Every structure is written in structure tokens, then in C-alpha cells.
Amino acid sequence: MSMYDNLNSMQQEAVFHTEGPVLILAGAGSGKTRVLTHRASYLIEEKGVNPWHIMAITFTNKAAGEMRERIDSLVGFGSESIWVSTFHSTCVRILRRHIDRLGYDTNFTIYDADDQKILMKDICKRLQIDTKIYKEKSFLGVISSAKDELISPEEFTLRAAGDFAKEKQAAVYREYQAALRKNNALDFDDLIVKTVELFQNDAEVLDYYQERFRYIMVDEYQDTDTAQFHLIKLLAEKYRNLCVVGDDDQSIYKFRGANIKNILNFEEIYPDARVIKLEQNYRSTQNILNAANSVIANNVGRKAKALWTDHPEGEKINFQQFETAYEEADYIAADIRKKVSENGGHYGGCAILYRTNAQSRLFEEKFVVSNIPYKIVGGINFYARKEIKDLLAYLKTIDNGRDDLAVRRIINVPKRGIGATTLGRVQTYAEEQGLSFYQALRAADEISTIGKAGMKIRPFVNFIQTMRSKVEYLGVSKLLQEIIEETGYVAELEAESSDEAQARIENIDELISKAVAYEESEESPTLSGFLEMVALVADIDNLQEGSDYVVLMTLHSAKGLEFPNVYLAGMEDGMFPSYITIISDDPSEIEEERRLCYVGITRAMTDLTITCAKQRMIRGETQYNKVSRFVKEIPETLLGGMARSRQKPKETSESAGQSFRQASSKVKPIFSTRNSYQSRQANSFASSSTDKITLEYGSGDRVKHMKFGEGTVVQIVEGGRDYEVTVAFDRVGTKKMFASFAKLKKV
């Protein structure tokens, strides 16, 4: 019996069709790695291809390592000659031999992210760019995006003509690239770009590698960017034996530069391409696959296909809607414990998937209390994240100032220009006088060895003392908001305009939500009490090591994985998809989010639970969101649990207002930390104004907000010299705001 007899008919076709361009559309769980490894074996054993002429390329070292191991086990002798590598490793090997033809030395240095930041900081200083306005990370992001699209500094400059901001970016790009060349260095994007440039400019080198790689296989083709597309196209140009494997329905890395058109337009580039669909799934039950198929079918930009399986139909998808996110976390924790204690399951068979890292906090806290072992993948413990530790260090310093580590952590956050030498002398003084580090800072004027540096220390001490005087009447959450605003912590992150900065802002928002929730749950909330609670929750060192733990991760991190039991949490419009995506004018943004939902659903093998909450605290503000449109795209016949409680797709303004009024009686008014922290400024406005503002609308009227769009006013509450207005917006759910800041217009 041949090893190929174990493949299904479509897998066999993908293995046996070796000549010319081939597009393998491999649905989730359809055995694509198995196809690629068997294809390599078939080329050698049945077609007589020299292993030297075969290339298999993918994205991660883990994927490349797994492919190498499986090819070695199938092929045996000679398999080491097959080139199995990642894109970047492939390009490094080529450039080490030939980059001298581009004017570089072959011993070039590869700059990592930290090296890039240092270089960019120097360039901004050299070009006299104010990095408080134009962030180094923002420039690096623009340059990376340009390189993904093979846009050179010269072309970028031409395109920027007449646009002041882009002209500044062009100047930085030119200087950055010149500095790299001067230093004989490449960044990670350059590894691809320079290899493409080498092939385009040197026919001899290109011909050598075209002869070397006569059979090319590319995994995860839907994740390739424009530069990687051109790299592969050049390599395959001579023999055209190019086999790409991917799934357009799992293209979820647009934010990293992935271009879905590479896989969608493959047949336009190669009109003679054979297209083979792998639709048989070996992972999930048919009910799970039917749910995934029904969701992704709503996308327009895709190749038609539908997953099916020989597995049993399985249980219906368990859909649960809760009043609050806390109830959601309670339910999931209890359900996991039940699976383990009553049904003989394992913690390691359970995964909780969510849209943003900030959502992990409630689950972390619930699991610690419930003694459920867990591990966060693609992130770190919520309270161990830098931005959270920074802000908690401020609170600790304000609380008693005896935590030297906390004081040292924030003495230069934000940067205050207090040097290491000065801090060392303060520490020496503290040790000599038997003082804490903060006490020594307060006595900086008495430390003769620090000279004028004492003037830089004084504002920090004054700030901490001022915050201490406000603790009792501000409370924890408003104290935290004032720290954030006065230090400019969030403002600096917003100025970066990067995905990383946005994620950090979301974590800060979640910390404020935690502070507000603490104040609501305690009769006599105190700063010390809040810090004590956080310390207990964050202490997870006693959790057992090993593989038997619940996995928490974002949906992006989950791609390529599978679990018997999957929980998709926070499935609400406004969370997933996000309200920014909902109000976007670009329909491709919603399609990308829908693909992400498809990825989440297809991670489940036997049991899928989808949860959402009617109200959830985001950025310290209680928001009321509808069930995610993606959940509504799943036929109710596939749903168990509370399927019939789903909100109808076209909920009326009247019903939205009624649901809001029912919920609002249980929740205190809370305001966002964004937009210069509306609640604090609104209170300031109310105390400083002499005349009460006049409203041109009333309850029941239709109004328009410049950011949230149109909605219906459901409640107006008089408060001082301002009004607290509640609006059920059509696209982003129900929100509260002060009238003076909302600037609502009647429509």
C-alpha cells in the first residue's frame, strides 16, 4: 500500500499535479502541511527530481521546523538538500553570498527593532524633528509599509510632493536608508527588498537561483505582502513550477502588510494555473463547520468553498448572552470547571479567544480566584504589562512612598532628564541618612552633591505631593485619570499612532475600568485597598507548571492552532467588530474582521461556546452593545443555549432606549478617559461657566455626533450647569456624554 493512498482524492490531486502553477485553496483543518510534505516526497520518489531543486518556504521558524521534520521522516536520505526555510532566512542566505553586487559588504549587520529605534532617534535629532509631535515609531511604521510595497525613498519622495507631512516622512526615509547603508546594515524589511532588488538588477544571480529552485512551494500564501509576492514571482519565472498553498478566508494580517490580492488574483497572474480546493476538514464537527461557512459566505472578496467533514454532526454551538462582562467571565470559568470535574476533561483542552489583549483581565482575575490554571499566549499577565506597572507604580508612590522600586520606575516616566549619576547620589544620601528613596528626593535641596539637578527633581516631588492631597476627594479612578492626563502618558501613546501603542492604550482603559468597578463594589473604597486587591489578583506564581492549563489568547494569535473546547468571548458590535471598523467607509475592513471570526470558529474541534454581554466597561465607560453581526450570521438552527435571546438585526431606537433605561438604573454614570478625560474637564466646565447651556433637542429626537454618527436621544439628566445625555447610536451602541462636549446636532 502506498503512502499516498491515505490521502483523500483532492489531496492526491494536489500532490500528483507537479508541473506548472498550482493554487491549493486549503480550508481550515484540511491537512495542507500533510499535502506539502507528501508532495516533496512524490517529486523525489516518483518524478525523479533532485532534492537540490526543491524549495519549501513559509513564515515562521516553528512552521519551517515542523515541515523540515516531516519531510525528513517521509523522504529519508537526501532530504537535507531540500531548501526548507522562512522568507527572511532564505533572503539572508542569498544576500550573504551576493549583496556585494549592490554595494554592501557581505558581513552586513541586521538591525532589530531596538537598533531601528536608536537609529531613528538619532535621525530625528539630526533633522531637528520635534519627537513630541512626530514620533520615531510612527516614522518607522511608515517606512516599513513603504518597503512592504517596494516603494523606494526616491519614489516615496515623488509621491509626497505637495503634502507637508509626507514630505517630512520622505526626508526621514531617505536619511534612514542612507544611514543604514553607511553602517552596512539592513533592517528586516530590507532583507526581502534587497533580495528583490538583487534579482531585478543582476540577471546572473537570478538565473542561478531559478536553476536551483525549479520546484517552489509556498505555505500560507494569503499572508504574503507585495515584496514577498515579487520575490517568489521572480524565482519561479523560468520553470513556472510554483505551488502556493493558502486560504483567503484566513487572511487576517493586513495590519502587518499582508496583501490578500496575492491569492485572490493568482489566476490572473498565471492563467494556466490548476486550482485545487481542499474542503474536507479533519478537525471539527459539522455543526461548527456549518457555522463557519455561514459567516464567511457573507464576504464578497473570496474564493467560493465550503468546509465539510466525515465527523459526526456534533453539539450545537452554545450561545450565551449576559447582562455584564463579569457574568460572562463567571459563566466561562464555571463551564470550564464543569468540563474538567464532571466530564473528565482537561484544562489544556480549553481556550478563550478574544479580540483585544485587554479582555484577558476579567478572566485572569476569575481564574485566580477559582484556582484554574491558565496561560496567556501572545501576551503577558495583565498587571505585568509595562503601562500597567508604570501607572500602578505612581499609585504606590502616592499611597506611601516607601516602595523604592516603584519610585525608581517612574522617576523618569515621562522623561524628566534626571540622570543616572544624580539618582545614584540620591540613593547614597538615602542610605547615609536612613531614608527611603522618595524621602531623599524630597530632601534633594539638602544634597550638595547633585547641584542644579535638584531643580529637575522638585517638579516630580511636587506632583506626587499634590496627588496625595487629592486622594480622599478624587477617589481611585479619578486619581488615576488625573495621573494619566497630567503626565501625558496616553497622549504620548496616541502620538505614536501604532498598533502597539493602541493596544497599550486599551490596557490602560481596562485598568481604569477595574478602578471604577472596585469603587462600585466597595462600601468604603480606598487607594490602599485597591492596591492590595491588585497585588493579590496579580500573584499567580503558585499556579502549577505544565501543559494542563486554560489558554487565553487573541484571535490573531490563535491562527494555526486547535482546541477541543473554544470560547469566543466579547462577541458584540463595538468589540468585535470594533466600532472603528463599523463606522469605516472601507468595506474590506469588515471583511477582514469576518475572516478573523472565521478563524476563531474553526479553532474548535468538538465544542464551541460564543458569549457576549449587554453592557461592558470600556475605557472606564459603561457601553451597551448589540450582539455581534457575525453571530447573527449564524443560522439559529445551529445555536443552542440562549440562541433565541439574540437581538434582531434591525433593533428599533425605541427598544434600544428601553433596554438602556432598564440597565442604566443599575450602573453609575462613567465617562471615558479619552478626549482629554471628559468627566474631569466637564466638571471643570460646569464649575467655571456662568450660564447653563441650551439644548436644541430632547428625549426621542434624532441627533448626530461627529464621531459616532446618528442616534436617538433616550435620556437627558440635568446636572449643574450641564446635561448628561444618553444616546442610542445606530452603529456603535448606547453612550453617555456631557452635552457641552458631545456637540450633538438635531437631525
Alpha helices by DSSP H, listed for 248-403, are 261-264, 266-269, 286-296, 325-341, 360-370, 386-399
Mean pLDDT over 230-250 rounds to 96
| Residue 355 pLDDT class (50, 70, 90 cuts) | very high
Tens digit of each residue's pLDDT (9 = 90 or more) over 527-562: 888 887 776 564 433 333 446 899 999 999 898 889
Q: Quickly count: other Cβ atoms within 10 Å of residue 606's Cβ.
A: 18
Annotate 186-234 with DSSP letters as a single string.
E-HHHHHHHHHHHHHH-HHHHHHHHHH-SEEEESSGGG--HHHHHHHHH
Mean pLDDT, rounded, of the chain: 85
Do residues 744 and 738 make contact, with C-beta atoms less than 8 angstroms apart?
Answer: no
Q: Is the pLDDT of residue 684 over 60?
A: no
Write the CB contacts of 356 (distance below 8 Å, at least 6 apart in sequence): 503, 506, 554, 575
pLDDT of 669? 32
Do residues 83 and 56 make contact, with C-beta atoms less than 8 angstroms apart?
Answer: yes
Mean pLDDT over 244-260 rounds to 92
Q: Is the pLDDT of residue 520 over 90?
A: no
Annotate 335-347 with DSSP letters as a single string.
HHHHHHHTS---G
Q: Is the pLDDT of residue 523 over 90?
A: no
pLDDT of 650? 38
**Dist CA 732 CA 574 (whole Å):** 6
**Dist CA 296 CA 303 (whole Å):** 11
Highest-pLDDT range among 80-84, 98-102, 411-415, 614-618? 98-102
Residue with cell 494542563: 548
Q: Quickly count: other Cβ atoms within 10 Å of residue 711's Cβ.
A: 26
Distances (CA, A) of 450 to 390, 441, 443: 26, 11, 11
Do residues 384 and 562 make contact, with C-beta atoms less than 8 angstroms apart?
Answer: no
Question: Helix 499-521 crosses helix 454-487 at what angle (to 10 degrees)?
Answer: 80
Mean pLDDT over 696-720 rounds to 81
| Residue 453 pLDDT class (50, 70, 90 cuts) | confident
Mean pLDDT over 509-520 rounds to 90
pLDDT of 380? 63
Tens digit of each residue's pLDDT (9 = 90 or more) over 712-743: 888 888 765 577 788 888 877 777 777 776 77
The more confident residue out of 663 and 477 is 477
Mean pLDDT over 463-482 rounds to 92
Tens digit of each residue's pLDDT (9 = 90 or more) over 139-172: 999 999 999 999 999 999 999 998 888 999 999 9
| Order of all β-strands in the sheet with 242-246 | 83-86, 54-58, 215-218, 242-246, 22-26, 274-278
Give the range among 222-231, 240-249, 395-404 with minimum mean pLDDT: 395-404
Is the preceding omega at residue 635 within 30 degrees of 0, hence cis?
Answer: no
Residues written for the chain: 747
Q: Quickly count: other Cβ atoms within 10 Å of residue 559's Cβ.
A: 19
Q: Is the pLDDT of residue 497 over 70?
A: yes
Mean pLDDT over 310-323 rounds to 94
Helix (H) or strand (E) segment spanning residue 664: helix 653-664
Catalytic residues: 32-33, 219-220, 250, 603
Greatest Cα-to-Cα distance within the chain, rounded to the nearest angstrom? 91
Q: Is the pLDDT of residue 56 over 70?
A: yes
| Residue 681 pLDDT class (50, 70, 90 cuts) | very low
Q: Which three cell numbers stand for residue 505?
A: 492604550
Number of alpha carbons in the 13 Å side-chain half-sphere of residue 226: 9
DSSP character for 106? T
Q: Is the pLDDT of residue 623 over 80?
A: yes
pLDDT of 376? 86
Is the preceding omega at residue 577 within 30 degrees of 0, hence cis?
Answer: yes
Write the CB contacts of 504 (distance below 8 Å, at least 6 apart in sequence): 385, 386, 387, 493
**Dist CA 252 CA 40 (whole Å):** 28
Write the CB contacts of 376 (distance below 8 Å, at least 6 apart in sequence): 360, 364, 552, 553
pLDDT of 720? 55
Residue with cell 446636572: 719
User: Which of 402, 396, 397 minimizes the C-alpha distance to 437?
Assistant: 402
Q: Give residue 549's Cα distance to chain centre.
A: 22
Q: Is the pLDDT of residue 332 over 60?
A: yes
pLDDT of 535? 66
Residue 350 β-bridge partners: 565
**Dist CA 267 CA 265 (whole Å):** 5
| Residue 597 pLDDT class (50, 70, 90 cuts) | very high
**Dist CA 660 CA 683 (whole Å):** 24
| Residue 692 pLDDT class (50, 70, 90 cuts) | low
pLDDT of 2? 82
